[in-house]
Amino acid sequence: MHPIHDEVLAYIANPAPERFAALALAVFEHQFASIPAYRAVCERRGATPDSVGDWRLVPPVPTLAFKYRQLCCAPPEHVFMTSGTTTGGERRGRHPMPDLRLYRAAALAGLRQFVLPDRHDIRIVSLIPPVQQRPESSLAQMVAWALEAFGAPGSVVCAGDDRFDFDAGAAALRRSEADGAPVCIMTTTAGLLRFLDHCDRRGWTFRLPHGSRLMDTGGTKGAPRVLSRQGLLHGCWSAFAIPGYFVVNEYGMAELSSQFYDNVVRDRYHGLATRRAKTSPPWLRTRVLDPATLREVPDGDPGVLCHTDLANAGTALSVLTEDLGRLTADGLEITGRVAGAEARGCSLALAEFVS
């Protein structure tokens, strides 16, 4: 594999912020040389390794382009797929990864930093289907690695075959109540809502040991109902006795190798007084752009999110999303999805890849 991948792995293991810019430009040079579809777009823009001297000027790849182009610097070791629901599911985005070491290192280091900074391991109760049943799911792969790396005895997977096994999940939580071993519930937000509703119907409540926590992801897509974040935190306390500062929402996407997390566990562990916000590991940076012009907006202003992920060294360093948000003093705030006339800049960027 290309030596730049090893440099990124070393950065993830030992981040040095002053090296981010040079490493990002080296990744851009690697992708320009090895991904023909990307190089063609860059050349039309006049953006080459010789002309681009700032990582912020690296041409981004729109997330929708993953549906139309093979963006991979070498034959893929594995291909992850997006859910593909925004255009009816007939065409799904493909993220072919030539070097899974990058994704594994970024995923585990992110979980360590934002979900488990205070623990070597923990009993994990997963409501995510096993990767053997969902090999196309980057989330299923990430949770499988989490079970391998951090899962204490008694960890279980309580989902599969398109159904949840809530009885098995309840049994695992009862074991933690009985033996005092903290537990980490990993789930989609939709799966969590279904579990909370099931607990309510069955009259189940759990008083989990202190240090127990929950990580949810994916928003309310596929959920049986809509519930505010505050309502969900209240539900976690009522059903599991997990306080809000131990409930971490993850924001990720199949097109990235790194993830954002709520700052609550990390900042509590480090004694920092902050408001809940999404934060990223040192190898992932975000710019907020005007959705019409794709120019960077002033700090605090809303715009479309563009992520620069060093762990995407084998595919697309800079990814232009359709998510809206803004940067605050405490981190990133996600506010919605770009749509309509506002999306002009995003649409033009996509057209460059599919023309």
Residues of the chain falling short of pLDDT 70 = 84-90, 340-350, 355
Q: What is the pTM of this model?
A: 0.92
Taking the CB of residue 145, how many other CB atoms lie within 10 A of it? Answer: 19
pLDDT at 342: 54
**According to the model, what pLDDT value does residue 84 have?**
58
In sign, the C-alpha dihedral spanning 349, 352, 354, 355 is positive
Q: How far apart are CA 270 and CA 257, in angstroms?
A: 25
Residue with tokens 């700032």: 54
pLDDT for residue 270: 96
Q: Convert 256-268 to b/e letters by CB count within 10 Å (16 or more is b).
A: bbbbbbbbbbbbb
Q: How far apart are CA 114 and CA 281, in angstroms?
A: 9
Pick from 38, 29, 57, 52: which is nearest to 294 by CA? 57
Interatomic CA distance for residues 328 and 335, integer angstroms:
12
Distance CA 280, CA 227 (A): 25
Determine the pLDDT at residue 162: 80
Query: What is the tens place of the pLDDT at every residue in 199-223?
Result: 999 999 999 999 999 999 987 777 7
- pLDDT given for residue 146 in this prediction: 98
Tokens describing residue 184: 């980490």
**Distance between CA atoms of residues 204 and 202, nearest Å:** 5
